[in-house]
Homo-oligomer: A and B are copies of this chain.
């Protein structure tokens, strides 16, 4: 069976169990989203954390309490079945990976769909900028930094960043291109010296893979949606669900819809 190209078809294949692979490269040009599901009693605090930290946590949609349909970005979709893979957490501990969360759904759950870097990476590629981890067919390298997110009483986290090496003469253009996509992490948070933001060794990312950094290249760092997951692990909520890394929700929005 071939992988379809339309978001609705991808979601349908997830729903029927035919598609369980990571989503990078699927439905190119359509917005993919991180998923966070929390009980309603944490929903205000988590939305507040995202509002205070819009670069790592750009909110695209929030479902009604108990309703699994993300009406703004994919009317008719069901976040309980339409992602290829999920992670279930209790008190901050990963207890299960699964391809369907219907058995875990509760009437007090709220789902948050959060922008991801695929949208601005497409824009970079369309502008002729290299994206190294795509060239090398790896996951993007991600690092915890010494930058603290603006906390709420319950949620706090160091800012997690992703890194893309760029030839020095392309750095300004990369800032310009990604800045337009402020709902997909937007412009970089740091350019150049990793030590300044508390990254000791680029060759040892905290998440993802190491990629090649050439002599004429500068490491450029963007806020990363994994920050939401570290915030949740620190808060240890009674119950939480997220997408499994790389297994995102594919929405009906086009990348351009996120841009300014």
Contacts and interface: CB of A to CB of B under 8 A. Distances in A.
B260 A179 contact: yes
A94 interface: no
A150 interface: yes
Name the 6 nearest CB pairs between A and B, nearest first. Answer: A44-B44, A43-B44, A47-B47, A48-B62, A51-B59, A260-B260
Interface of A: 40, 43-44, 47-48, 51-52, 59, 62, 64, 72, 150, 152-153, 179, 182, 260
A152 B67 CA distance: 12
B44 A40 contact: yes
Contact of A152 (B40, B64, B150): B64
Copies in the complex: 2
A47 B47 CA distance: 8
17 contacts: A40-B44, A43-B44, A44-B44, A44-B47, A47-B48, A47-B51, A48-B62, A51-B51, A51-B59, A51-B62, A52-B72, A64-B152, A64-B153, A72-B150, A179-B260, A182-B182, A182-B260
Nearest to A48: B62
A51 B62 CA distance: 9
Contacts of A59: 51
Contacts of A64: 152-153
A114 to B, nearest CB: 12
Nearest to A64: B153
A156 to B, nearest CB: 13
